[in-house]
Structure 1
Amino acid sequence: MIRKTALGTVFLLTIVYILSFVDRQIIAVLGTQIRDSLNLTNFQIGLLYGPVFSVIYAFAGIPMGRIADKTSRIVMICIGLAIWSLMTVLSGFAASFTFLVTARLLVGISQAMLSPAVYSYLADRFSEKDRATVFSVYASGIFIGIGLSFLAGGTISLNYDWQTAMIAAGVPGLILAPIVWFLIKEPERTKEYAPEMGSTVQEIQNILSNRSIRWHLAGFSFLACTGYTILGFAGNIFNDVYSRPDLTAQFGWFMFGVGAMVMISGKTADYLARKNAARRYWMGVVAALAGLPFYLFGLFAEDAGMAFFLIGTGVLFSSSYNGVAAALIQYYVNPGQRALTGGIYLFVISIAGFGLGPPVTGWLTDAVFSGRYAVSSAILTVMLICSAGAASSFIRAMALYQKDAIVRT
């Protein structure tokens, strides 16, 4: 049974994660207003939302994980929170593209300090049998944050301006950073941390030599491709297919539902593990396959309202994997490798998910498919391939789990 004080810690870290995604997503929500105000191009806005943040975030995660395995994780979390919140506030005063690029780079670097440190902290703080549940509560912050960025950020910008919305997105983090510093304490490192580790490259090679880890990363990378794709092209569906751009903003409501599904998925995974720990991977299979019927009918529905409901329902299933994914990989490594492993996981799903899914979908839409449902056909093609790849990867990981896992609880 998880103690109330421990639950309070998870709750506080989840709020930090929520704020990280509000600040991460806010550029997309305010993109058109920023573009018109600073005379930018759509390409420049795309750079700010995508590569300027995601590439530096992905690559910074590995060294940040290495540092978190050797230093105070709480210090890293608080410093990261303070920096990205300050950069978001300062972005509200930006008068040039260069300033925004610099701020977004610093947001990416500082946010890379968060999850590797949190993954390691939670794995130390909670027993193996509760990890999927705890990690899923934390991961629910992804979708709560995205939902809030659409709803709160969009509302503030409509009633005031994008500068006010940007400042409002960053201020809560500046307030929360000292609270986290005061309330959350670094747990004592066990003797398992004592052995001297090799270089970062050697440690990465050691981690990736585990067959189950490779299948784990492959499976959840496939799922990340589907997640980034639907988030990236939901606006295209409602605008290009149905001429209902208003539904794009309302799509944010489904993100709160996804947050709940992430927690349900984690709790179910820990329940399934009572008889066989490898069965946690079944929640990955569910995420890969359960949403497909909803996407199949929703992407090609005649009615916009029906499409909105079916696609949103598909997202509830296909994005439910996040907490289970982050928890499961921790069972394969020693405590001294946990944060670094978290950094590798974030690197792989960020590069594979953001770097492959959306570009391939865009190319299929422009070059392969045509007609009213071109974007729908492109999205479904990517989803079918990724779902098959994810499900087969998880089945393989389940078969190898008992041989490769260090902790089999």
Structure 2
Amino acid sequence: MSATHKFDVGNASATGPAAKAAGPGARAWWVLGALCFVYVLNFLDRQLISILAKPIQDELQITDGQLGRITGLYFALFYTLIALPVGWFADRTNRVKVLAFACFLWSAATVACGLSRTFPQLVAARMAVGVGEAGGVPPSYAIISDYFPSGTRGRALGLYNMGPPIGMALGVAFGASIAAAYSWRDAFVSVGVVGIIAALVVFFFVREPKRGGLDVKQGAASAPVETAPAAGFWSTCRMFFTRPTLILIALASGATQFVTYAVVNFTTLFLMREKGMTLSEVALYYALLVGIFVSAGMYVSGRLVDWLGKRSKAAYAYVPAVALLLAVPFFFGFVWAPGWPLAMIFLAVPTFFNYFYLSPAVALVQEEVEPHQRVLSGALLLLVMNLIGLGFGPTYLGMASDFFRDAHPDNSLQLAFYTLIPFYFLAVALFLFLARAIRREAGKV
């Protein structure tokens, strides 16, 4: 098909069935790239404090438990709770402008992190980062869903969800390199300035798409979805929490994130303090591992659910469940390995499989709700899974390390990492319950 026949969401006239069948055009891919870059900055800012944990701990004299709370609970409370009113507001207004303002806010707060001189100041700056980032992902999910038709959203959201691994990799590579050459403060300030520039680019150059312009009614493949009224806040919340598939995908993803956020927030510190890595080695080898294997996991899982989901929607549950089971023995090997080279070899496999949940979770929620409920539903998904995973995963692991510190001062983080293995099996069980719920709903249609 020639490029001239592809659908361009920026063209208001291209909203008919033929446009939908043609698939996304050049503007859709450009917007996806711009939103992905913002997501890269979102996650880079979020993870930078974990990547630079060792020099921050050395200067500010904070414990593993304090580090866990500042990267977990303190951040997550603001990030998840603010996301709800932001999602409701974005569903009723211009989602692009909401995203641009949020990017500006969290980037300015990242600069403030670099200027912090005490632990309370750093806590306050991190909370401000959480407030800003609350307006980043939910509007982006909905914007992408209105640029890409059903059947291509898994791939598009899979590409978008490569933002976290790219952000993590760039954070490790550039953040650690800047910190090694200058200071950890310079890393925060540099990244924050880039984010402020990106916010201005989004504000002036990304167009707001028509809500539901690429959706069709059930049983009428050629009939576009009619424009719906603005979503009610409480009606959307009731819909989300009374749908078994939606609440189960949120809980299963939260259990998975309990592991993934705990691991990613402490891996750099673990590798440096107990496996013998230097900051320069982290900047090279760990950055490559994260960038390659998490990105591959995000993309492969998105393609898998697009392919297998055509046969059975239960694939949205089975794909992450199988991936997590495959990750467990290699995660054990990573924690056990006596030195960092062997640990990195083992870590590559769970780094690939641990993120098979995200693209299926986002795609399933976006497919299951009405177009005018997508931003708020995405925010509710993030509320549940981030409050559980981001809020309690790093907090738990930091407290566990402090608990083991007195009796095992040389390997307290290793023992704490071992205690994450049961949470893998909890996540698998929840995904299997989700598969059963999906089959039951399909049987009622």
Q: TM-score, normalised by structure 1?
A: 0.88
Partner of 1:205: 238
Deviates more, 1:42-51 or 1:180-189: 42-51
Equivalent of residue 181 in structure 1, options 200, 203, 206: 203
Query: Is contact 1:290-1:317 (8 Å) kept?
Result: yes
Alignment partner of 1:187: what SS?
Answer: coil
Judged with a 3 Å threshold, the aligned counterparts in structure 2 of structure 1 residues 212 and 111 are, in CA distance, closer, same or farther, namely same
2:63 counterpart of 1:63: no
2:425 aligned with 1:388: yes
Summarize the Cα distance change of 1:35–1:221 in structure 2 as closer, same or farther, 3 Å threshold. closer
Give the conservation status (yes or no) of the 8 Å contact 2:332–2:418: yes
Number of aligned positions between the proteins: 404
- Please state how far the C-alpha of 1:251 moved relative to its aligned partner: 2.2
Aligned equivalent of 2:351: 315
- Paired amino acid for 1:254: L
2:62 counterpart (21, 37, 41): 41
Q: Is the 8 A contact 1:28 1:49 kept in 2?
A: yes
Conserved? CA contact 2:162–2:298, under 8 Å: yes
Provide closer, same or farther for how the CA distance between residues 159 and 4 of structure 1 changes in structure 2, counting only shifts above 3 A: same
Contact 2:86 2:134 in 1 (8 A): yes
Q: Give me the CA root mean square deviation.
A: 2.8
Change (3 A) 1:338 1:21: same
Q: C-alpha displacement at 1:373, in angstroms?
A: 6.4
Deviation at residue 10 of structure 1 after TM alignment: 0.7
Q: Distance in 2 between matches of 1:323 and 1:73?
A: 21
Distance 2:36 2:398 in 1: 33
Mapped contact 2:44–2:171 kept (Cα < 8 A): yes
Partner of residue 322, structure 2: 286
The question of whether the paired residues in 1 share the 8 Å contact of 2:71 and 2:394 is answered with no
- 1:156 pairs, out of 178, 190, 209, with 178
**Which residue number in structure 2 is paired with residue 140 of structure 1?**
162
1:161-214 superposed Cα distances (whole Å, 9 cap, x missing partner):
33322221012122222222232211123565534644x334312211001112
Is residue 238 of structure 1 aligned with residue 260 of structure 2?
Answer: no
Cα 1:103–1:374 change in 2 (3 A) is closer
- Aligned partner letter, 1:218: L
After superposition, the C-alpha distances for 1:81-112 in whole angstroms (9 at most, x for unaligned) are: 11222222344444455544443222211111
Question: Residues of 1 paired with 2:265 and 2:139: CA distance?
Answer: 28
User: Paired residue for 2:97?
Assistant: 75
Letter in 2 for 1:301: A
Measured after TM superposition, the shift of residue 117 of structure 1 is: 0.5
Cα shift at 1:239: 4.5
Question: 1:218-255 CA deviation, whole Å, 9 max, x = no partner?
Answer: 21111111101222332454345434455655423221
The answer for the alignment partner of 1:167 in structure 2 is 189
Q: Is the 8 A contact 1:215 1:394 kept in 2?
A: yes
| Aligned equivalent of 1:15 | 37
CA pair 187-164 structure 1, distance change in 2 beyond 3 A:
same
Change (3 A) 1:353 1:215: same
1:256 to 253, 277, 291: 291
Unmatched segments (≥5 aa) in structure 2: 1-22, 213-224
Name the CA shift for 1:132/1:163 in 2 (closer, same or farther; >3 Å). Answer: same
Deviates more, 1:353-362 or 1:240-249: 240-249
Do the aligned residues in 2 keep the contact of 1:192 with 1:334 (CA within 8 Å)?
no
Measured in 1, the distance between the counterparts of 2:189 and 2:411 equals 39
Bigger fraction of residues in helix: 1
1:379 corresponds to = 417
Aligned equivalents of 1:367, 1:45: Cα separation in 2: 14
Deviates more, 1:150-159 or 1:349-358: 349-358
Pairwise CA distance, 1:376: 3.9
Indicate how the Cα distance of structure 1 residues 164 and 381 shifts in structure 2: closer, same or farther if over 3 A, else same.
closer
Aligned to 1:305: 341
Mapped contact 1:235–1:245 kept (Cα < 8 A): no
Q: Specify the alignment match of 1:4 in structure 2.
A: 26
User: Structure 1: which 5+ residue stretches go unaligned?
Assistant: none
Q: What is aligned with 2:257?
A: 224
Does the 8 Å CA contact 1:192/1:335 hold for their aligned counterparts?
no
Aligned mates of 2:56, 2:335 — CA distance in 1 = 30
Q: Closer, same or farther in 2 for the Cα pair 1:76/1:91, shift >3 Å?
A: same
Instruction: For 1:401, give the aligned amino acid.
Output: I
TM-score by length of 2: 0.82
